[in-house]
Structure 1
C-alpha cells in the first residue's frame, strides 16, 4: 500500500522567512517556525510517516555586514534540540533528517554539504539523533558528486534518505529534473546497497517537469521514466555487488594497513617520535602505486 516517506514544513517561501527561520534576527519568526514544525510533526506522526525532513533554505545569510553568525548558529542548534526533544515526547519513531544545500535561495547556508551538516550536528551533540536527506542536485551545487555526499554520510553512519533528481551541469542553480541516466545513479546506488541500504529512508522524486512540457502525459512520462531508470540501475548494482570486483580491488589497494606498519601506526605505542624512528630503522622509502582509475572506469561501464 501507499506509505508516507516523510513530512516537512515550508519555512522558506513566505516573506516572514526572508531573513531566516530559526536563524532569523526576530525571535517571533523563530517561534512561528517552531509552531509550524510542531504541527507538521504531529501530522507526519498521524499519517505514519517514516521520516521528518528539515531543509533550511533560509537558514543562512546574504551579507556578513548585518549578521551575527554566532547567535544565528546558536539559535539553529536550539531549534534542532527542540525538534529532537519533541520527537521523543510524542513517540515519533521515524528519523529526523537534515537536508544539505550550499545556497539558493540564501547566499550562504549553514547546511552547505554533508560534511558541514555533520560538523554542525556534532557541535550540538545531535549526531546520533539526526541523519541526512541527500539530494543529487544539491550535491552538485556544492561542488560534489552525488556519490561523494552519500559515501561521506555512510562513512559517518548518517545516511537517512535521498531526493533522487538531477541538475543541469551547464546551469548554476537547482533545476530539479527527473532522473534519466543510469550512469549518474549507478555509483550512488552501489554505495548505498553495498552498505546496508536506506533502512527507513527511500527515494523521493523532488523534481518537476520542464516549463515547456505542458501536455498532461508529460507528467506520466517523467515519473515512469524516473522509476524505470531507478529499477534498471538497481539491477546493474545487484550484478556489481555479486561480482565483487570493486571491493576486491579496494581491499587490495589498502591491504598494507592490515600489516605490520599499518597496525603499528594505529597501536597505542605509536607516537610521532616512534614512527620517525621506524622510518629510519626500516629505511622506509615509499614507492608510488597506480590508482588504475581508467581500468576501473572501464569495469564500471560494463554494467551500464
Structure 2
C-alpha cells in the first residue's frame, strides 16, 4: 500500500491547495459503490450487500429509515496500534500530523467511504474534525474553517451528521472531568467547546448533539465533593439545553454513559480510565437526568442487549452505539431490530458503527468488508424480526404468560387501582393458602424455537 507522501519543503501549501487536493484525490481507488445483490450472490463476494437494500420498504418504512447506519469518523484515526504493539498501517489520508490539512484529508476520505458504502449518516467528536488549539481565537478559527469545509462536502455527498459531540475527555485538562472538574476554568473551557459544537451541529443539520461522560467521575472519595460535582455536571447539561433553544437547533440532545467507552477497543486495551463514573450506564444516566429534571431534554446513547431494553422501558433511547469489540451476532441483531420495530423506531434513532479492523487488516477492502458485514447483519436481523412480528408466535406466548393481568382483579392490579387491603381480601376469598408451585417459563423451549425460526426463515 502506498504511503502518503509528505509535503515538499520548497513551497508551503495554502488552504486552497489543501481543499483542491482533498476534492480530487481518491482515497479508495479500485473500489466502486457497494451494490445490493441479494442473498443469491456468490458466497465469496464480500464487497456487496446481501440483505441491506436501503430503499426496500419493510412494515411501511425503508430499510435505511429503520436501521439508519452511521459511520464513525473516530475510527478513521485508528492505525493498528494497541497496548502490545506499535501501529501496523498508515492510511493515505493520515500522516499523523496535527494540521488542518491532515484533518481535512481524513474528513474527505470518510465522506468518500460513506458515499461508496451508500451510507447517509456519520458521527464525530470535534477532535476528529480539527486539531486542538492553545488560544481561544485560534480554536474558533478551526471551528469555522472545518464547518465550511464539511458544508461543501455535504452538498456533494448528501451525508449528514447523526450526531456531533465535543471531546471532553482526550485533552489532559479534562483528567478530572469536564463538567465535574474541581477547577472552574476547566468547566468554562468545556462550556466553550459545547457552545461551538452546538453551533456546528446546527449549521451541518445534525440529527442530534451528544455529550459524552467517560471522565465524569472521581478517583477517590477522600478528595471529592460528589454532590457538588454532580450539580456542576447537571449545570453544564442545563446550559447546553438552554443554548440549544436560543440557537434554534432542533436536534435531539443525547447523553452517553461510560459503559459505551468501556466496550471500546482502544479503552479496553489501554485501560486508561479508572474513575468511578457518575454516569456509568443507561440506568444511572436516567436516574441522573430525572433527578435534575433533564429527562425531557436528553435521551441516552445505549448498547444493544439489556441496556437497550431497560432504556427502552424508560422511553430514554436516543441512539445505539455498536463497537466491533462488543461483538454482535445474528440472534442479537434480530432482537435489536425487533426492539426497534416494536417501538416504531427510536427517534431520532440511528446506529453508530464505530468499527476498527484488526491489526493485520492493512488492505482498504478489509475496512469496507467489515462495515458491509455489520450493516448486512442488521438488515438480516430486520428482515427476520419483521417475520417474527408477523408470525406472532412469540407475541402470543408473552400475552398468554401474563394473561392473569388482563381481566378480573389482575387487571385492577396492573392498572394501579387495587390497594393492599383489597389484595388481602381477594387472596383470602379465592385462595386462602400460600403455594410454592412455580409456572415454568419454558425458557429452553423458547430459545430453541427462536433458533429454529431463524434457521427456517427464507429471505430475499
TM-score range for the pair, normalised by the shorter chain length: 0.7 to 0.9
Larger Rg: 2
Residue 213 of structure 1 pairs with residue 361 of structure 2: yes
Moved more, 189-198 or 22-31: 189-198
Task: Check whether the contact 1:240–1:303 (CA below 8 A) recurs between aligned residues.
Answer: no
C-alpha separation in 1, matches of 2:242 and 2:417:
42
Question: Which of 272, 293, 307 is the matching residue for 1:125?
Answer: 293
Q: Cα deviations across residues 22-71 of structure 1 (Å, max 9, x unaligned)?
A: 00000111111011011011101100000111111100111112111111
In the other structure, the counterpart of 1:294 is 444
C-alpha separation in 2, matches of 1:100 and 1:291:
33
C-alpha separation in 1, matches of 2:332 and 2:411:
37
In the other structure, the counterpart of 1:153 is 311
Q: Secondary structure at the match of 1:160?
A: strand
C-alpha separation in 2, matches of 1:279 and 1:183:
41
Task: Check whether the contact 1:180–1:225 (CA below 8 A) recurs between aligned residues.
Answer: no
Q: Mind listing any 5+ residue stretches in structure 2 that lack a counterpart? A: 1-157, 268-272, 456-460
Q: Cα deviations across residues 136-155 of structure 1 (Å, max 9, x unaligned)?
A: xxxxxxxxxx3221111221
In the other structure, the counterpart of 2:454 is 303
1:106: Cα distance to partner?
A: 4.0
1:224: Cα distance to partner?
A: 1.7
Question: Which of 8, 14, 22 is the matching residue for 2:179?
Answer: 22
In the other structure, the counterpart of 1:112 is 280
Task: Check whether the contact 1:58–1:106 (CA below 8 A) recurs between aligned residues.
Answer: no
What is the TM-score when the length of structure 1 is the normalising length? 0.87
In the other structure, the counterpart of 2:330 is 182
C-alpha separation in 2, matches of 1:36 and 1:134:
23
In the other structure, the counterpart of 1:248 is 396
1:180: Cα distance to partner?
A: 5.6
C-alpha separation in 2, matches of 1:191 and 1:51:
21
Residue 57 of structure 1 pairs with residue 207 of structure 2: no
Distance 1:266 1:300, change over 3 A: closer
1:278: Cα distance to partner?
A: 2.3
C-alpha separation in 2, matches of 1:267 and 1:232:
37
Question: Which of 279, 283, 287 is the matching residue for 2:427?
Answer: 279
1:257: Cα distance to partner?
A: 1.0
Residue 165 of structure 1 pairs with residue 323 of structure 2: yes
Distance 1:59 1:255, change over 3 A: same
Q: Cα deviations across residues 65-102 of structure 1 (Å, max 9, x unaligned)?
A: 21111111111111111111111111111110111224
Task: Check whether the contact 2:334–2:381 (CA below 8 A) recurs between aligned residues.
Answer: yes
In the other structure, the counterpart of 1:100 is 257
Distance 1:165 1:244, change over 3 A: farther
Q: Mind listing any 5+ residue stretches in structure 1 that lack a counterpart? A: 136-145, 169-178
Moved more, 4-13 or 257-266: 257-266
Task: Check whether the contact 1:100–1:112 (CA below 8 A) recurs between aligned residues.
Answer: yes
Task: Check whether the contact 1:121–1:127 (CA below 8 A) recurs between aligned residues.
Answer: yes
Distance 1:269 1:233, change over 3 A: closer
1:231: Cα distance to partner?
A: 1.6
Q: Secondary structure at the match of 2:347?
A: coil
Question: Which of 134, 138, 155 is the matching residue for 2:302?
Answer: 134
Q: Secondary structure at the match of 1:7?
A: strand
Moved more, 10-19 or 224-233: 224-233
1:265: Cα distance to partner?
A: 2.6
Task: Check whether the contact 2:335–2:381 (CA below 8 A) recurs between aligned residues.
Answer: no
C-alpha separation in 1, matches of 2:312 and 2:241:
21
Superposition CA RMSD, Å: 1.9
Q: Secondary structure at the match of 1:205?
A: strand
1:213: Cα distance to partner?
A: 2.0
